[in-house]
Homo-oligomer: A and B are copies of this chain.
Amino acid sequence: MDAIGVFDSGVGGLTVAAALRRRLPRESILYLGDTARLPYGSKSPETVTRYTLRNIEFLVERGVKAVVVACNTASALALPRLVPDLHLELPTWGVIEPGARKAASVTRGRVGIIATDATVRSDAYPRALRALRPDLEILSQPCPLFVPLVEEGWYDDPITEQIAERYLRPLLDARVDTLVLGCTHYPLLVPVLRRVAGPDVTLVDSAEAVAEVVAAGLTEGGIESASPPSGRPEHHVCVTDAGEKFHQLAGRILGEDVTLEWVEVT
């Protein structure tokens, strides 16, 4: 189908799909949300790796030309294990490296990472940042309640703000100047995070950075879509479990009503 395959544990990766659509308006996107097994952020590297492998296999069977792992947890825990093992023939990108690159380019020296438990434990962001700039001071903070708060629809809520204040306090006390949103759900919390972090902290959302990397990679590999302006790309969203909340959130992120195909991936 010549599409770019994108997957996440749930709805959050649609923030990456939306960035891809803006940056690459000619490309079709096949999105897979593994909603039957979400969240990944509280689970072990072995389990997340198994799920990631199955999701990539699903996308490959559907004939995608490239894969974007739009889930920070899967990018952090599974990609480093899978890529060498699989000798993946398709171009495959995660979200850690682009996000780290962007943070390294904007920070004045102190970077805070907010992410799921599993992503923080993996040390993937600090490792990627130190490889780019060994001079950086880096602090990480797991924020396990942020995903459920987004899924509850409490994006911009006084209770969410209190929770953000508690999570971010150690980072702000340490005077980080840059905050990496290390989970694809977190861009939905930007209004709250902006208020809590204040105007002097730069928020880094890796979605745009990922879209740049993918655009460059498609060109480099000679696989960018050459359809004329009249040829319309196709966007398709698959989920491993039905859910009204996914549907609502997907509409909010993509700015349009979304039809979901329910697929089984085990």
Interface residues of A (CB under 8 A from B): 35-37, 42-44, 46-47, 117, 144-145, 148-149, 151-152, 159, 162-163, 166, 240-243, 245, 266
Pairs across A and B, CB under 8 Å, 28 listed: A35-B43, A36-B37, A36-B43, A36-B47, A37-B37, A42-B151, A42-B243, A43-B241, A43-B243, A44-B241, A44-B242, A44-B243, A46-B241, A46-B242, A47-B241, A117-B245, A144-B148, A144-B151, A144-B152, A145-B145, A145-B149, A145-B152, A148-B148, A159-B162, A159-B163, A159-B166, A162-B162, A266-B266
Cα distance, A44 to B244, chains bound together (Å): 10
On chain B, the residues within 8 Å of A266 by CB distance are 266
On chain B, the residues within 8 Å of A145 by CB distance are 145, 148-149, 152
Name A's interface SS: loop
Copies in the complex: 2
Cα distance, A185 to B124, chains bound together (Å): 32
Cα distance, A46 to B243, chains bound together (Å): 11
Instruction: Give the nearest-CB partner of A266 in chain B.
Output: B266
How near does chain B come to A219, taking the closest CB pair, in angstroms? 39
How near does chain B come to A48, taking the closest CB pair, in angstroms? 9
On chain B, the residues within 8 Å of A242 by CB distance are 44, 46
On chain B, the residues within 8 Å of A44 by CB distance are 241-243
On chain B, the residues within 8 Å of A35 by CB distance are 43
How near does chain B come to A144, taking the closest CB pair, in angstroms? 6
Cα distance, A142 to B54, chains bound together (Å): 32
Instruction: Give the nearest-CB partner of A117 in chain B.
Output: B245
On chain B, the residues within 8 Å of A151 by CB distance are 42, 144
Cα distance, A37 to B241, chains bound together (Å): 12
Instruction: For the A-B complex with A36-B47, A44-B241, A46-B241 known, give 13 more contacts whose Cβ atoms are closer than 8 Å.
Output: A35-B43, A42-B243, A42-B245, A43-B241, A44-B242, A47-B240, A144-B152, A145-B148, A148-B148, A159-B162, A159-B163, A162-B162, A266-B266
Cα distance, A42 to B249, chains bound together (Å): 14
On chain B, the residues within 8 Å of A117 by CB distance are 245
How near does chain B come to A225, taking the closest CB pair, in angstroms? 34
Cα distance, A46 to B159, chains bound together (Å): 33
Cα distance, A149 to B151, chains bound together (Å): 14
Instruction: Give the nearest-CB partner of A143 in chain B.
Output: B152
How near does chain B come to A8, taking the closest CB pair, in angstroms? 15
